[in-house]
Structure 1
Amino acid sequence: MADTDLLVILGPTASGKTKLAVQVARQLQGEIISVDSRQVYRGMDIGTGKDLDEYTVDGEPVPYHLINVVDAGEDYHIYRFQQDVQQALDDIRQRGKRPILCGGTGLYLEAILNRHAFTAIPIDQALRDSLSLLSDDALLARFHQSSSAYSAVADTSTRKRLIRAIEINQYLTRHPDTPLLNQKPEPAETPAVFGIDLPVDVRRARITRRLHERLQSGMIEEVEQLLASGIPAGKLIFYGLEYKFITQYLAGELDYETMSVRLETAIHQFAKRQMTFFRKMERDGLRIQWLDGLLPLSELVRSITSAA
């Protein structure tokens, strides 16, 4: 039994965590808080896998939060996410419901469970624009050139996070007296955390099947619509994965086959990084109760509801 009423259901992409969380929420009178760095954007539906039809059980909707909260193209960062999650937690609890965090963005999960002070450092858009022109190798070299107290804990696993790490390092270098350097993280919640574990071959097969279904079900048209709405191509590329490669395809930089193959490879790599980040969270002290993702959904639901 956890010290709080908070539940967390995490897992890599295509693991079935949303469907599981919805069923658990239905049984526990809960509401879901999405922990996905891209599902916050309106208009980015198929590519982010919102699957909003899954939030209904036996004709009854299960409430969700932090999906479709800002327009695509706007800036949304971890510090704002922390604030939005706290607001959602307060709202859910005031109505006597059970909050359930569900998602696979490890950095966002960690920001909630550990409440890192560094997330409050402001965005430097001019710096981001200049860094976006650099290659991944050049970004990594830039990161190592300027070190700070943040360097030892920085997550540089993706291009987006590497740019943010450089941004934080530069801010702390220019503001060495910032209180954040000496600020201890606030006490975090102590939730019950459940993770969905799948054999790698099963996870890869699910990712491949789902990708090709989405490519044939309007994902390319979704990116076309985002571009037509005035969102710069560079912004969509910054969002990564589906939006990056499909934008390059629509710009004529990649043919369809190359786009499809590179995107599939990138998603497989992303899922692997997700699992690596979850293991890091465990090494840092977070207890994750891993569930066999091959078990029937009903058994997975019972495993959580009986322990929570």
Structure 2
Amino acid sequence: MPNYDLIAILGPTASGKTPFAAALAAELHTEIISADSRQIYRGMDLGTGKDLADYTVNGHPVSYHLIDIADPGYKYNVFEYQRDFLRAYETIKQKGCLPVVCGGTGMYLESVLKGYRLLPVPENPELRAKLADKSLAELTEILKQYKTLHNSTDVDTAKRAVRAIEIEEYYATQPIEERAFPQLNSLIIGVDIDREWRREKISRRLKQRLDDGMVDEVKRLLAEGIAPEDLIYYGLEYKYLTLYAIGKMSYDEMFTGLETAIHQFAKRQMTWFRGMERRGFTIHWISASLPTEEKIDFVKRKLAGF
């Protein structure tokens, strides 16, 4: 029988991975570690799809970690995620439970499943000054010149691209002592959702979140003093809604642009997960359309070695 250290539930946005992970955690009497690069921020709820109600199963709360741990405007990174993941992982293991990591941020997931050895990268003022006047297209071309792209996903703003180049330059020029990270034997479950159903769910969910006050959430964050460029940094909903809120985009332009961007994001997530398989990860895919009970039974069989 395999002796697993961790269960990972991954999938694209709108695949239903979070309610499934919560139901599984409830069944196994364990806790969830989030692997979502934006749900770590307090007050960024609707825009990140932080459906905290999903963590209540049959009236009982399921404990979760790494949600609401940073202030909006802060630039959280993969190194910090590894550090915080390990703390949460050890906390859960000390209770005698099998942790469940769940999310759609491929870099975060891969960094802990593969045990990347990363170091915190300091700011490089000289490099930033040199890149300050370059366009996003120019920065992307510079980024492509590096052999290993540690942080090349979702580089949809110049600010993010500069940071990605900064990381690459540091790794290329500094002698780095590898930081120990445990090799975890992980059971990886992927939630596969039909493309057309995924598109339908994304569009329906976007309309619902707008009705629930997603524009007001962004206006509140701006009113609290978060700079527009800092919100735009987070991409997707925060990019388009901020541009709308500051008058740079009409409502229809915002909605159409955002809807398209989320569809493209889901496609990129699946490309990342397929890439993980090519890089040696075994992902056991299950259909999003299966009833939750059948999904849980599938995981239990895999845990038992079947």
Q: Same fold (TM over 0.5)?
A: yes
CA contact (8 A) 2:34 2:103 kept: yes
Deviation at 1:211, TM superposition (A): 0.5
Which residue number in structure 1 is paired with residue 212 of structure 2?
Answer: 217
Number of equivalences? 299
For the residues of structure 2 that align with 1:129 and 1:179, how far apart are their CA atoms?
25
Where structure 1 has 5 or more consecutive residues not aligned to the other structure, the ranges are none
Which residue number in structure 1 is paired with residue 176 of structure 2?
Answer: 179
CA contact (8 A) 2:150 2:168 kept: no
Deviation at 1:95, TM superposition (A): 1.2
Select the residue among 138, 152, 158 that pairs with 1:156.
Answer: 152
Which residue number in structure 2 is paired with residue 297 of structure 1?
Answer: 292
CA contact (8 A) 1:24 1:305 kept: no
- CA deviations over 1:103-141 (Å, ceiling 9, x no partner): 000000011012222x31414275568757643311112
Aligned Cα RMSD in Å? 2.1
Deviation at 1:187, TM superposition (A): 5.0
- CA deviations over 1:260-301 (Å, ceiling 9, x no partner): 000000000000000000011111111000001111222112
Give the secondary structure class of the aligned counterpart of 1:70: coil
Change (3 A) 1:184 1:74: closer
Which residue number in structure 1 is paired with residue 101 of structure 2?
Answer: 101
Q: How does 1:47-86 map to 2 (within 5 A)?
A: 47-86=47-86
Which residue number in structure 1 is paired with residue 236 of structure 2?
Answer: 241
For the residues of structure 1 that align with 2:82 and 2:168, how far apart are their CA atoms?
21
- CA deviations over 1:64-83 (Å, ceiling 9, x no partner): 00000111112211111101
Which residue number in structure 2 is paired with residue 276 of structure 1?
Answer: 271
- CA deviations over 1:187-237 (Å, ceiling 9, x no partner): 521110000001111111110100011011111100011111111110100
For the residues of structure 2 that align with 1:163 and 1:12, how far apart are their CA atoms?
26
Aligned residue type for 2:167: I
CA contact (8 A) 2:35 2:108 kept: yes
TM (normalized to structure 1)? 0.91
Select the residue among 186, 190, 194 that pairs with 1:191.
Answer: 186
Change (3 A) 1:134 1:53: farther
2:229 matches 1:230: no
Change (3 A) 1:55 1:166: same
Select the residue among 262, 266, 274 that pairs with 2:261.
Answer: 266
For the residues of structure 1 that align with 2:22 and 2:150, how far apart are their CA atoms?
32
CA contact (8 A) 1:3 1:191 kept: no
Give the secondary structure class of the aligned counterpart of 1:239: coil
For the residues of structure 2 that align with 1:53 and 1:131, how far apart are their CA atoms?
43
Aligned residue type for 1:39: Q
CA contact (8 A) 1:114 1:186 kept: no
Where structure 2 has 5 or more consecutive residues not aligned to the other structure, the ranges are none
CA contact (8 A) 1:40 1:66 kept: yes
Which residue number in structure 2 is paired with residue 166 of structure 1?
Answer: 165
